[in-house]
Chains A and B, each alone.
Chain A
């Protein structure tokens, strides 16, 4: 079907799912954004937990190495890190594969995006989790140790449950950052929501239809996330005395 020029279509038709609408493109971009944010956040959380424990209990060398990681990542713009890692990770991997006598591989863009953003998220989550662990009353950990619990059991039974409430607000902010950081992948050509919006609007010239619509989608993600995290915080604080009395 041949579409009429974009000027003749209404905003609703442009945003719709019909043959001339860009709705499917936007939804595809939104799904990509959310998937990447979720993947990066989860992987970043793993890095963050390792980093937080490494920074606190990792021995002198481990501590300094984690400090170098968090300092560098937090001082350099995400866009620069994304670009460096975007070229370095596949490059190094391929070099390694060739050395080992294998063929080159093309890393899927999605995976690279997730790993790169997770590397950035990991540094920030390390700091949030470290702060949360530090806020756990020291006597609790000492008591667990005095009972003869091995370190992993202390972490699982005492530190994790007690630190959750302290970590949730910071982790919530980082989740919002993760969703917004996916937009940076548009710069390296990944088709997430921002890139999809740019494509749709530059083809149809309907900038004031697509950008507000996409911003609305981001806002909905943010608002729903805020609601969700306040629920989680309430759950994490169950049993704690309310400060307001």
Chain B
């Protein structure tokens, strides 16, 4: 603490405090008191956090086979996996999202049996497209990361497993996957922050996450800056939370440092 509290830092902290007070006093925050907007903000937060967490999980589950195919698979699996990663990483997420939403959204109604199926009420909403696009994006980026992680597990570990007579899948489950995952844990922390920062894109396909909520407030009240400032603060808080969570996570996994 003493390291941190140097004289110039105290002055800067005071200046920041003054800035915050000025923002609170001189800018308009009365809209925050209205229950309508409070409810909107809560649903927006739930959407943002829900999308981040769910697409991270789905994407990682997809990334494991994609990474494995690239690291150890035969060419007819490795090639498509590599193509998939290149396309996802080489094109903007916004474009992938719009292709799925507008493209598939215009294709599906022309398929008669789909319209009669039980899936139709779900497919008419926007969120499945958002979840698919965001998950595929995670799968593409993390697939590449997992390839490196699978390759990075020392060969002797796998050979030892084989020498003990373990079947291939057991080796994968007990040795290869855990060690690869442990390697990528710090990377995944960073990627989760990136994923959080990607979620505002889905507001363009009518999903009411927190970015869209701020837009709604701005539209209703003609207040320009205040909702955006709140938005920035919320995202910074969420980013901080993710960083702290992964630090705790990493602290829990035992590592041996030479």
CB within 8 Å of B: which residues of A?
60-61, 64, 72, 75-81, 83-84, 87-88, 91, 176, 180-184, 186-187, 194, 197-198, 201-202, 205, 207-208, 211-212, 214-215, 218-219, 222-223
Contact = CB atoms under 8 A, between A and B. Distances in A.
Contacts of A214: 95
Interface string B93-118: 11110110011001100000000000
Contact of A76 (B89, B225, B232): B232
Interface string B4-33: 001011001000000000000000000000
B231 A218 contact: no
Contacts of A215: 87, 91, 95-96, 99
B150 interface: no
A205 B103 CA distance: 8
A191 to B, nearest CB: 14
Chain B binding surface SS class: helix
Contacts of A184: 92, 94, 201
B228 interface: yes
B235 interface: yes
Contacts of B245: none
A80 B232 contact: yes
B6 A207 contact: no
Contacts of A176: 89-90
B49 interface: no
Given A78-B197, A79-B201, A208-B103, A218 B91 contact: yes
Contacts of B103: 201, 207-208, 211
Given A75-B235, A180-B91, A218-B95, A83 B201 contact: no
Contacts of A78: 197
A207 B99 CA distance: 7
A215 B94 CA distance: 11
- Best-surrounded residue of A60, A76, A194, A205 (most CB of chain B within 10 A): A76
B148 interface: no
Contacts of B102: 198, 201-202, 207
A176 B90 CA distance: 8
A151 B98 CA distance: 50
Contacts of B98: 194, 197-198, 211
Contacts of A212: 99
Interface string B215-258: 00000000011001101100110011000000000000000000
Interface of B: 6, 8-9, 12, 86-87, 89-96, 98-99, 102-103, 106-107, 193, 196-201, 204, 211, 224-225, 228-229, 231-232, 235-236, 239-240
Contacts of A202: 102
Contacts of B90: 176, 218-219, 222-223
A137 to B, nearest CB: 23
B95 A183 contact: yes
A60 B3 CA distance: 12
11 contacts: A64-B8, A75-B236, A77-B198, A77-B235, A84-B232, A183-B94, A187-B204, A197-B95, A219-B86, A222-B91, A223-B90
Nearest to A61: B8
A205 B91 contact: no
B95 A79 contact: no
Contact of A64 (B9, B201, B239): B9
B207 to A, nearest CB: 14
Contacts of B89: 176, 222
B202 to A, nearest CB: 11
A216 B12 CA distance: 48
A211 B228 contact: no
A74 to B, nearest CB: 8
Which of A77, A186, A187, A202 lies at the interface centre, i.e. has the most chain B CB atoms within 10 A of its CB?
A77
B211 A80 contact: yes
Contacts of A223: 86, 90
A170 to B, nearest CB: 14
A17 B131 CA distance: 36
B92 A76 contact: no
Nearest to B105: A207
B133 to A, nearest CB: 12
A223 B89 CA distance: 11
Contact of B225 (A72, A87, A180, A198): A87
A229 B231 CA distance: 36
A105 to B, nearest CB: 19
Contacts of A201: 102-103
Contacts of A182: 92
Contacts of A61: 8, 12
